[in-house]
């Protein structure tokens, strides 16, 4: 059998990565070492079309698929392929292979076995940084807006959700899935002197990101809480996200839940926040909300729920942030309270918070166009 490696690049890779994360019948596995060295350019168009899901790809000469090759000599001459240059000093773990749930390659076409590979988290970050950098260079996006958006993308890679491959901004989001990377992995890759384009912006975004986000809305609130004020955030210490609480021994027989994973938990501040994303008006939902609030109280944890109305515009977000800072203030010095007041009332920070919401707030929750 003739084995071909199709190393997807840029947006085509990202679409395939998101699809693989969302589909139960697909899995992601580490790719073989030196994967580009074995990606030669003699690609059969029929095998290419058969290997790629038709819900994502319809390759034509006018709409080719982006594939990465090691050097000019190995580039494809196939009319359905746009050849991307290889990358110097590319680590062995830069790619992941998309396999069936049984662990088989995606396609066997005649005598050709087609292995479909996607950029792993760190390389996907650099590709996204290149795309956003072009938007900045063209004047379509400010550098700070690009940095906020790229931080949100890092949170998706290191989180437990995946956006829609074809409509990432407005499509349905799949939740409760395994992360494809971690902040530590992103930083380890990006801190290496690889000479990749976009690495500076990607490195900065990875330094701001956090593990464990469970939804796009959680990522938005994380930005409000933890990004620096120049990007619209309050620069709080990173919370634990969706990490199970350890109940105090004295509360073990009193709480209603065996385990709770707050969206945000600051152990130092004895404070937790949860975003109420679903329907919380039914009697059953209200009872569950009450049980959770009682459990937090029994464990001496300040509980601050986050509702859709709290994100309706920049004023509502700032009001919620002021409440959180007032809860945290007794655990900090007097200087913290003074800095918090200045940050909440600073016009420049409020303007940056509008930019943050425009980049991270899901469009369906943008109630006020003037603030999004």
Separation CA 255–CA 247 (nearest Å): 9
Sign of CA dihedral 196, 202, 207, 213: negative
The number of helices, as runs of H, and strands, as runs of E, in the chain is: 11, 12
Q: How many CB atoms neighbour CB 274 within 10 A?
A: 21
Count the alpha carbons within 13 Å of 169 in the hemisphere toward its beta carbon.
7
User: CA 17 to CA 134: how far, in whole Å?
Assistant: 22
* 0.75 surpassed by pTM: yes
Sort residue 196 into left (φ over 0), alpha (ψ -120 to 50) or beta: beta
Whole-angstrom distance, CA of residue 250 vs CA of residue 216: 35
Q: Give residue-wise pLDDT tens across range 54-66.
A: 999 999 889 999 9
Per-residue pLDDT of the chain (372 residues; tens, 9 = 90+): 677 788 899 999 999 999 999 999 999 999 876 666 656 567 778 888 888 999 999 998 899 999 988 766 567 778 888 888 766 567 777 899 999 999 888 877 666 788 899 999 999 999 999 999 999 999 999 999 999 999 999 999 999 999 999 999 999 999 999 999 999 999 998 887 666 778 899 999 999 999 999 999 999 999 999 999 999 999 999 999 999 988 877 777 787 777 889 999 999 999 999 998 765 556 776 788 788 888 888 888 999 999 989 999 999 999 999 999 999 999 999 999 999 999 999 999 999 999 999 999 987 554 433 332
Q: Determine if residue 198 is left, alpha or beta; phi over 0 gives left, psi from -120 to 50 gives alpha, anything else beta.
A: left
Cα gap 309→367, rounded to integer Å:
9
Q: Are residues 26 and 100 in contact, defined by beta-carbon separation less than 8 angstroms?
A: yes
pLDDT value, residue 164: 96
Give the Cα separation of 206 and 175 in Å (integer).
Answer: 22
The per-residue pLDDT for 282 is: 62
- 39, 32 Cβ separation under 8 angstroms: no
DSSP 8-class letter at 146 = H
Q: First and final CA of the chain: distance in angstroms?
A: 54
CA 135/CA 281 separation, integer angstroms: 42
């Amino acid at each position: 059998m003739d084995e071909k490696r199709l190393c997807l690049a840029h947006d085509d890779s990202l679409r395939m990565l998101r699809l693989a994360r969302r589909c139960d019948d697909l899995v992601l596995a580490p790719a073989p070492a030196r994967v580009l060295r074995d990606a030669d350019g003699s690609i059969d168009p029929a095998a290419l079309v058969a290997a790629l899901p038709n819900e994502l790809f319809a390759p034509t000469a006018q709409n080719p698929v982006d594939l990465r090759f090691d050097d000019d000599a190995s580039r494809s001459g196939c009319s359905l392929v746009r050849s991307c240059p290889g990358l110097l000093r590319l680590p062995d773990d830069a790619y992941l292979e998309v396999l069936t749930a049984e662990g088989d390659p995606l396609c066997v076409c005649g005598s050709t076995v087609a292995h479909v590979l996607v950029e792993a988290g760190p390389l996907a970050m650099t590709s996204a940084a290149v795309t956003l950098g072009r938007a900045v260079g063209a004047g379509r996006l400010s550098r700070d807006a690009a940095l906020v958006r790229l931080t949100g993308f890092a949170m998706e890679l290191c989180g437990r959700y995946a956006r829609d491959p074809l409509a990432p901004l407005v499509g349905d989001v799949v939740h409760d899935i395994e992360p494809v990377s971690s902040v530590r992995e992103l930083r380890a890759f990006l801190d290496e002197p690889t000479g990749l384009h976009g690495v500076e912006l990607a490195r900065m975004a990875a330094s701001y990101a956090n593990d464990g986000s469970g939804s796009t809305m959680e990522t938005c609130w994380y930005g409000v809480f933890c990004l620096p004020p120049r990007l619209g955030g309050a620069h709080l210490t990173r919370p634990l996200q969706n990490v199970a609480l350890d109940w105090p021994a004295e509360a073990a027989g009193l709480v209603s839940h065996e385990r709770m994973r707050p969206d945000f938990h600051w152990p130092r501040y004895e404070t937790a926040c949860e975003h109420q994303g679903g329907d919380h008006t039914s009697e059953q939902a209200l009872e569950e909300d009450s049980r959770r609030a009682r459990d937090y109280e029994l464990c001496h944890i300040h509980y601050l729920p986050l509702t859709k109305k709290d994100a309706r515009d920049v004023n509502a977000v700032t009001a919620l942030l002021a409440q959180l800072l007032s809860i945290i203030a007794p655990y900090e010095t007097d200087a913290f309270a003074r800095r918090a007041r200045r940050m909440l009332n600073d016009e420049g920070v409020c303007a940056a918070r509008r930019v943050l919401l425009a980049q991270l707030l899901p469009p369906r929750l943008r109630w006020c166009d003037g603030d999004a």
